[in-house]
Amino acid sequence: MNMQQSQLTVSNAMPTHQGRLINTNYGLINRSRMNNNDSMIDQKRRAILGGTAAAIAGLTIAPGVFLTETAHAKPVDEAISSKTRWGILIDTNNCNDCNDCVTACEEENGWGSGSEDEQNSRPDQKAQWIRTVKVTDKKTGYAKTLPMMCQHCEHPPCVDVCPTGASFKREDGIVLVDKHICIGCRYCMMACPYKARSFIHETLTDQRSYAPRGKGTVESCTMCVHRVDNGENPACVDACSSSMTFGDLNDPDSDISKELERHGGTQIRADLRLNPGVRYQGLNF
């Protein structure tokens, strides 16, 4: 399989498989550990955070949109359990390239056509939480289109390289960016083999309270964490009539697990051993 349009690259940063629990605005989460230099990097993080903490307090990223609104995605006192591993299964056999998933994400999270902002950025600079890519079999020329977004890796290199801890993975496998402490260094963009992250170049005024965004920070698919924590499907899944299934990969009785058991699934760039939470069917060529 040749990921021609997505131009996937291999990151030099390979993750470790350990984790630690940290209580944050998102609840009790598991931040993947970085490496043996962890304590040194933690010191740097504390220095950065110590220097910016006063400035962070009370910051808004747009009129009426407070950074602390991210806390609404999950009650602070409610721990998120690693018993659950949220995932999305995409059957490319049924994907007709209608773009409904992209449009739904834009509307739900207030980017692209769902926003009046980012009018001055080049097309390649604009937000891209989800996009469609074409994969081609080099031998036969057979091609398929599929939706590509943050793959919510079990071992996310974006988290490993983040110097401030802004990139983190929740206990339930959802990978997020904490806009409170993202300094916009874009290391995570370089580390992500799926090109899943975007950097905001412009001041934003038109955004959703539950999906705050901000100039100078990085963002990506949140798996619609605000909906998931409310017992709903991600917006893209609800918008797709035929090819997307959302559910708990750890629950053998969930629809997604049963479908994977019946027909199997493919991880994009499985060779990287990141164990993405997003799986695909119909790519066996």
Minimum CB distance to ligand SF4, residue 187 (Å): 4
Q: 76 with 25: CB under 8 angstroms?
A: yes
Measured from the CB atom, is 186 or 258 closer to ligand SF4? 186
Looking at 153, 235, 260, 272, which residue binds ligand SF4 (CB under 6 A)?
153
**Is 158 an interacting residue with respect to ligand SF4 (CB under 6 A)?**
yes
Tokens 């999270």 identify what position? 109
**Is 146 an interacting residue with respect to ligand SF4 (CB under 6 A)?**
no
CA distance 31 to 62: 28
Which residues sit opposite 86 in a β-bridge? 248
Of 274, 278, 285, nearest to 245 (Cα)?
Answer: 278
CB atoms within 10 A of CB 43: 10
Residues in 169-228 that interact with ligand SF4 by CB under 6 A: 175, 177, 182-188, 192, 194, 196-197, 218, 220
Minimum CB distance to ligand SF4, residue 85 (Å): 13
Measured from the CB atom, is 135 or 274 closer to ligand SF4? 274
Of 276, 229, 270, nearest to 249 (Cα)?
Answer: 276
Minimum CB distance to ligand SF4, residue 174 (Å): 9
**Is 167 an interacting residue with respect to ligand SF4 (CB under 6 A)?**
yes
Q: Is residue 3 helix, strand or coil?
A: coil
Minimum CB distance to ligand SF4, residue 274 (Å): 6
**Is 162 an interacting residue with respect to ligand SF4 (CB under 6 A)?**
yes
What is the Cβ-side half-sphere exposure of residue 240, based on CA atoms within 13 angstroms? 25
Residues in 237-276 that interact with ligand SF4 by CB under 6 A: 274
Dihedral sign, CA of 50, 77, 66, 173?
positive
Q: Is residue 45 helix, strand or coil?
A: helix
Residues that bind ligand SF4 (CB under 6 A): 150-153, 156-158, 161-162, 164, 166-167, 175, 177, 182-188, 192, 194, 196-197, 218, 220, 274
